[in-house]
Amino acid sequence: MISEVLIVPMRMKLSYRVLLRRKVLFFETILGSTNPILLSDCVLAGFSRKLVYRGWSWGRKGLSMEGDGAKGLACQKTLDGKASNGNKAVPSCCLKAMSCLPEEDAKCHSTVVSGWFSEHSRSGKKGEAVYFNNPMWPGEAHSLKVEKVLFKDKSDYQEVLVFESATYGKVLVLDGIVQLTEKDEFAYQEMIAHLPLCSTPSPKNVISLTLKVLSLWLPFVMIEAQCAYLFSVRVLVVGGGDGGVLREISRHSSVEVIDICEIDKMVIDVSKKFFPELAVGFEDPRVQLHIGDAVEFLRKSPAGKYDAIIVDSSDPVGPALALVEKPFFETLARALKPGGVLCNMAESMWLHTHLIEDMISICRQTFKNVQYAWSSVPTYPSGVIGFVLCSTEGPDVDFKNPINPIEKLDGAMTYIREMKFYNSDMHRAAFALPTFLRREVASLLASSS
């Protein structure tokens, strides 16, 4: 009755892997080894202090945990089941994340076997299968039943897996982390695209000037001229190789150019083959595809080129290592026009509030206005995903109230395919924060509009 089941680690797209790989490089250096090393082993072996002394950025509060205000909501405070002592301990969610090396991830495909399990624990006795979850979310797992594995390969950057699930349609997994499922992809794609784009005026709609002039040669004749000046609106997508974000941006007819910079061509190819409803986004003539490193791409871009940038990075590697640090946000800000907007995927409010604080804090140093929004996406960890929205110095942007409501854009709701999740009510609602999160980030957002 049941054929194959994959325990898929829940999704976390951005920051952890960056930190992880940086740590790995670091340890490769200090240990003089080219083999991948489990960071947890290193920490247990007494290297953790060096991490601190070398000043690796584990967040605004360094390596400290959240205060009592977030009791019960903080990152897991255990390391392999044992409580850590003192405030300077590495949250085990991060610590365990660090132990999730790419080489470890590569074994994830072996998880698609009969039964519900992911990978074998080293601590299991010989012959005894002990199963555990992705270390990013210790103590829990979300499992999807696999009907059929459709694609499995390793690109230059990551392991790419596509399988047909029993109840969520086709699923894209990168390095063992679910990126999207056909059943709920639209919630993420629509929100990450329209939250920023509906927060900025649509030039075709608003820069429509009606000039009424009294004729010089016929004094009593009023000449009415309409001057609709079109800005060349440009949007950049960082990552987003599945095409889903492109599909959503395409609904905005005011957008003239959609640049996308995706580092991994295999993701695009796989999407075109297995996820045509997402890859359709690439077919829009306004899309200009750039295969390569987004940081490099942005450095070469003229300052003030983009009206909006959407960071949908699936798994930053190589030059993208810096994707969650201040220099990257400065690069993004530079590439934006005055009043331009950024939307960046930003964690789960239930699992990693301190990382949300960090990201908001970093963005506040660079941007004029920073806000946080969230949405329901069942196949992401804890069932939610967050977004940090920023705007540069320039015209004020009120993210919470869409100035450019999607319902008023001609044909936008049905372009390519009907919208399924986002609407102006959902836009406004996305900025309502639960009290526990509000307490953590209120002071950071206080001076934002």
Q: Which is nearer to its own copies, 44 or 223 (CB)?
A: 44
Q: Is 378 in the site for its own copies (CB under 8 A)?
A: yes
Is residue 222 helix, strand or coil?
strand
Q: Is 236 in the site for its own copies (CB under 8 A)?
A: no
Strand partners, 223: 213
Shortest distance in whole angstroms from residue 239 CB to its own copies: 23
Q: Which is nearer to its own copies, 316 or 381 (CB)?
A: 381
Question: For residue 239, which amino acid is it?
Answer: G
**Exactly one of 312, 358, 396, 398 is catalytic; which is it?**
312
Beta-carbon contacts of residue 267 (< 8 Å; ≥ 6 apart) = 155, 160, 172, 174, 241, 242, 314
Binder of its own copies out of 47, 56, 231, 350 (CB under 8 A): 350
Is residue 437 helix, strand or coil?
helix
Q: Is 231 in the site for its own copies (CB under 8 A)?
A: no
Binder of its own copies out of 47, 56, 151, 421 (CB under 8 A): 421
Q: Which is nearer to its own copies, 35 or 167 (CB)?
A: 167
Question: For residue 203, which amino acid is it?
Answer: P
Is residue 38 helix, strand or coil?
coil
Binding positions for its own copies, 66-95, rule CB under 8 A: 72-73, 76, 78, 80-81
CA distance 163 to 45: 39
Shortest distance in whole angstroms from residue 2 CB to its own copies: 5
Binding positions for its own copies, 112-131, rule CB under 8 A: 114-118, 121, 123, 128-131
Is residue 236 helix, strand or coil?
strand
Question: For residue 356, which amino acid is it?
Answer: I
Element housing 28 (H / E)? helix 15-31
Q: Which is nearer to its own copies, 242 or 259 (CB)?
A: 242
In 383-405, which positions are buried (b, 16+ CB within 10 angstroms) versus exposed (e)? ebbbbbbbbbeeeebebbebebe
Is 175 a known active-site residue? no
Binding residues for its own copies (CB under 8 A):
1-3, 5, 7, 72-73, 76, 78, 80-81, 114-118, 121, 123, 128-133, 137-145, 147, 165-169, 182-184, 187, 350, 374, 376-378, 382-384, 418-423, 425-426, 428-436, 438
